[in-house]
Amino acid sequence: MISAVLASGATQWLMFNGASDSFAAAVASGHRRSLLAASPIDIVSSDRHTVKPWLDARIGVSPPAPDLAQDGYALIGGRVEVIADRPVPALVYRHREHLITLVAEPQQGGSVSQPEDLSSGGFSLVHWSDGAFSYWAISDMERPELDDFVARFRKAAV
């Protein structure tokens, strides 16, 4: 009986961590694909009052989209990513010559978590949750710059 409980718990733990890893891999793939496309965004606008309604009209949800232009992170638009057969909103910011993709997966009664480094393959990737959304920020810029973006986004999105 104890073995069955332990095996079941281990299987559930592995499935949960595997799902998180596969979501991160899908976010990274989507970001790479957007960099190869003619345009990395579906809706071109620096106005969150244009981007948010556009996302909401297509997939029924839109994350906070704070204006961080004065901090050097300009919103340039958004797109819909399809991850695990579900459409999720993605905001795109520009910092100098770097693009930042911010994927926001809606959560149902989700938990709050601090930013976690998931960087690999030449890209900086940070994941955190605020209870309403689980966020994944990815860019080819250096990790301290992405950390700065994440801190400013989290502060402005409150």
42-65 pLDDT, tens digit each: 999 999 999 999 999 999 999 999
Structure confidence at residue 9 (pLDDT):
39
Q: How far, in Å, CA of 130 to CA of 132, rounded?
A: 6
3-state secondary structure of 136: strand
Any idea what DSSP says for residue 152? H
Residues 6+ apart with CB under 8 A from 136: 23, 24, 27, 102, 103, 104, 105, 125, 126, 127
Structure confidence at residue 16 (pLDDT):
38
If pLDDT is split at 50, 70 and 90, which confidence band does 28 have?
A: confident
pLDDT of 12 over the 70 cut: no
What's the whole-number average pLDDT of the chain? Answer: 86
For each of the domains in the chain, give its residue range(s) and CATH number, in order of start: 2-156 (3.30.200.100)
97 beta partners: none
CB 62 within 8 A of CB 53: yes
